[in-house]
Structure 1
Amino acid sequence: MIPVPRAPAADDRVLGGAVPGNTSRYGAALADVVDGARHWPQWYTLGNLDIWLRFRRTGLGPLWTTLSFSLMAIALGVVYARVLGEGMRTYLPYVVTGLFVWNFVAATCQEACEAFVDSRHILKQLYLPRMTVIYRTLWRNIVLLGFNSVTVIAVIMLCRVPVSSSILLALAGFVLLCVNLLWLSLLLSIAATRLRAVSRVVATGMPIALFITPLIWRPNADSPRILTDWNPLYYAIEQVRGPLLGAPPAPWIWAASAGCALIGSVVALLVFGATRHRIPYWL
């Protein structure tokens, strides 16, 4: 009797399972996070390519994003300054810097929902650290944020906002914001890959969050405390907007944002470890 050769077992790395060996799923998830960061030329190049493909043959290229953001922010600032009885010189920078951060957060969260789905052809056929897709999404939006910063700088200069050394804290706030967006994007990507309706929920919820977060209106003694003290979106915006306007946020905002980064990162790592090997099959 001629023995029939067995088909070779599929490479676990190709299918996206745990790293071969005795590494646990959670250890493999942590290794994926580190490995994805080490492969920065991949997501750096792919993120830049995404921007080029999105704006090819549009004339102005990514500057369309700057133009769209400028028109929306200035229009809201001018209109609501009259409605709320605010001085244009102080209110316009407040709105523009707030929307500057908000657009970055909203775009990253919405695009993260489709991150794994849009990369399904790659993830199904070859091994790639899953976090490479998340880094790619975040980097793409950081580049677009850089284009929008032109509007923020122009408004700060035209409105003669005092610039002090506290503006350097905006960089620290931005780094902390990126850490929070990283774990949040990972969770949203996993959830939206398993349940496609999650992306619809996020797209519906972001405009609502825009109006309940102190972006257009200023918090005061009569404002509901739940919209400031218990609103992570307020922490994310204020830790960048405050230093840009020469008013560093209170220490409790930094502490709350850092706490969100720590707890969220742990939760995201646990969820990633439990679901990482299933992502290719959900696609």
Structure 2
Amino acid sequence: MDKKFIEQSRLALLDLKEALRLSWFWLALGWLDILQRYRGSMLGPFWLTLTTAAFIAGLGPLYAKLFNLDMAQYLPYLAIGFTAWGFINGTIADCGNAFIVAGDSLKQMKLPRLALLFQVIWRNIIVFAHSLPIFAVVLLFLGPSFSPVMLLAIPGFVLVVLNLVWIGLVVAILCTRFRDIGPIITSVMQIAFFLTPVMWDHRSQRVSEVYVAINPFASYIELIRTPLLEKAPDLIFVAAALGTLVVGSICAALMFIRSRRRIVYWV
């Protein structure tokens, strides 16, 4: 094996270890980003919650009527799916600027690159947490209930976050090296929104689960949404999410090993 590659692999692994050791650093920075972004605002990130709630309240009845669906079943389906998509889409979009925004810091001090990526993902997790009241309101409105199956949403969410780590790393590297990639990713995510069962249900529309599972975003959303609807996720979606995690992590690791030293020159 190439000695240069071995040395680069060792440095990349040290970068990961240092980023995990400095968890307090990027956790604090992610929280500080939220405070600075909404400084002077009375509702802060809850503006996003209100916007999402208005979207669901406005389009929920309309699409339930168009698809001839029961409102009591479709509204929570749409609410959870749209909120989960917002988290995934927002995280990927922010990861594209993870290294670019921190360019000055990278040039002035020694920072683990992955700590900057973790900061962005943690910040979006905080924003996603502000949307959780939407789930509570919808479920309470339609009749409060609890099933142990709903706890499966926790490992499902963890699996989604782990997938977003490798996706975010690939996006961050590509957007730093090629600045035209950012708008391309934005366009791709807009198309993916309509191809992903966010507002439409593949079961009621009689779409094959295999066809849906080909889209990794569909699997990620199902891992969060299905348990909260008191149903166990289909194994095909679990397998798809685990498969993309393994294959994607390997590809992202190889890309990071090759480009880690060059990131500071690209920003």
When the two structures are superposed, what TM-score results if normalisation uses the length of structure 1?
0.89
Quote the sequence identity (%).
34
Deviation at 1:179, TM superposition (A): 0.3
Deviation at 1:30, TM superposition (A): 1.9
Distance 2:207 2:234 in 1: 17
Distance 2:175 2:144 in 1: 41
Distance 2:101 2:230 in 1: 40
Deviation at 1:76, TM superposition (A): 2.1
2:213–2:236 CA contact under 8 A, matched in 1: no
SS of match in other structure, 1:228: helix
In structure 2, the gaps of 5 or more residues are: none
Distance 1:188 1:78 in 2: 36
Determine which structure has more spread, i.e. the larger CA radius of gyration. 1
Q: Deviation per CA, 1:246-265, whole angstroms, max 9, x where unpaired?
A: 11111121121111111111
In structure 1, the gaps of 5 or more residues are: 1-21
Q: Aligned residue for 1:12?
A: none
Q: Aligned residue for 2:66?
A: 83
Q: Aligned residue for 2:195?
A: 212
2:92–2:167 CA contact under 8 A, matched in 1: yes
Distance 1:256 1:78 in 2: 32
1:263 alignment partner, one of 247, 261, 266: 247
Q: Deviation per CA, 1:175-232, whole angstroms, max 9, x where unpaired?
A: 0000000011000000000001111011112121111111111113742666403110
- Closer, same or farther in 2 for the Cα pair 1:161/1:228, shift >3 Å? farther
Runs of 4 or more off by more than 4 Å in structure 1? 224-227
Deviation at 1:160, TM superposition (A): 2.1
- Closer, same or farther in 2 for the Cα pair 1:169/1:226, shift >3 Å? closer
Q: Aligned residue for 2:29?
A: 46
2:170 alignment partner, one of 176, 183, 187: 187
When the two structures are superposed, what TM-score results if normalisation uses the length of structure 2?
0.94
Q: Aligned residue for 1:249?
A: 233
- Closer, same or farther in 2 for the Cα pair 1:244/1:225, shift >3 Å? closer
Deviation at 1:73, TM superposition (A): 2.2
1:101 alignment partner, one of 79, 84, 88: 84
Q: Aligned residue for 2:128?
A: 145
- Closer, same or farther in 2 for the Cα pair 1:31/1:228, shift >3 Å? same
Residue 70 of structure 1 aligns with an amino acid whose one-letter code is: A
Superposition RMSD in Å: 1.7
Distance 1:163 1:198 in 2: 43
User: Relative to total residues, which structure has the larger helix share, 1 or 2?
Assistant: 2
Tell me how many residue pairs correspond in the alignment.
263
- Closer, same or farther in 2 for the Cα pair 1:138/1:170, shift >3 Å? same
SS of match in other structure, 2:131: helix
Distance 1:152 1:172 in 2: 18
